[in-house]
């Protein structure tokens, strides 16, 4: 069964307030089976345009990744991101 991923492309508008989102989302997503594979770090746009920050969280399955994103506790914390950053979030299925 393929793994699932939550992929975020983010441009932070308020770094101080966004820090609270990072501090609060990590334990929730860890508890739900997520493992951060990419979290910020260096990146270079080689084609097209992109947000400033990129995050990839791996889950055992696509269904678990989708359930984690829709988890009420996570969605409550996601409001902080909505208010402090512009983002595109995807849930995708990996390959076997």
Give the tens place of pLDDT for each residue, 5-30: 999 999 999 999 999 999 999 999 99
| Rounded distance between C-alpha atoms, residue 96 and residue 83, angstroms | 36
Chosen CATH of 4-93 out of 3.40.1360.10, 3.30.300.280, 3.30.499.10, 3.30.70.100 = 3.30.70.100
Q: Strand, helix or coil at 85? A: strand
**Where do the structural domains in the chain lie, given as residue ranges?**
4-93
pLDDT at 57: 98
Q: What is the mean pLDDT of residues 44-61?
A: 96
pTM here is 0.93
Q: Is the dihedral of CA 68, 30, 50, 3 positive or negative?
A: negative
pLDDT value for 61 = 98
Q: What is the DSSP letter of 13?
A: S
| CB contact at 8 A, 87 and 6 | no
Q: Which helix (H) or strand (E) element contains residue 11? A: strand 4-12
Q: Find residue 11's DSSP bridge partners.
A: 86
């Amino acid at each position: 069964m393929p793994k699932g991923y939550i992929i975020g492309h983010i441009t932070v508008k308020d770094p101080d307030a966004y820090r609270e989102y990072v501090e609060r989302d990590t334990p929730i997503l860890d508890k739900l089976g997520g493992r951060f594979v990419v979290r910020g770090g260096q990146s270079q746009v080689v084609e097209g345009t992109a947000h400033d920050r990129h995050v990839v969280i791996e889950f055992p399955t696509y269904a678990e990744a989708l359930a984690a994103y829709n988890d009420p506790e996570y969605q409550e914390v996601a409001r902080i991101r909505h208010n402090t950053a512009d983002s595109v979030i995807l849930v995708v299925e990996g390959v076997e």
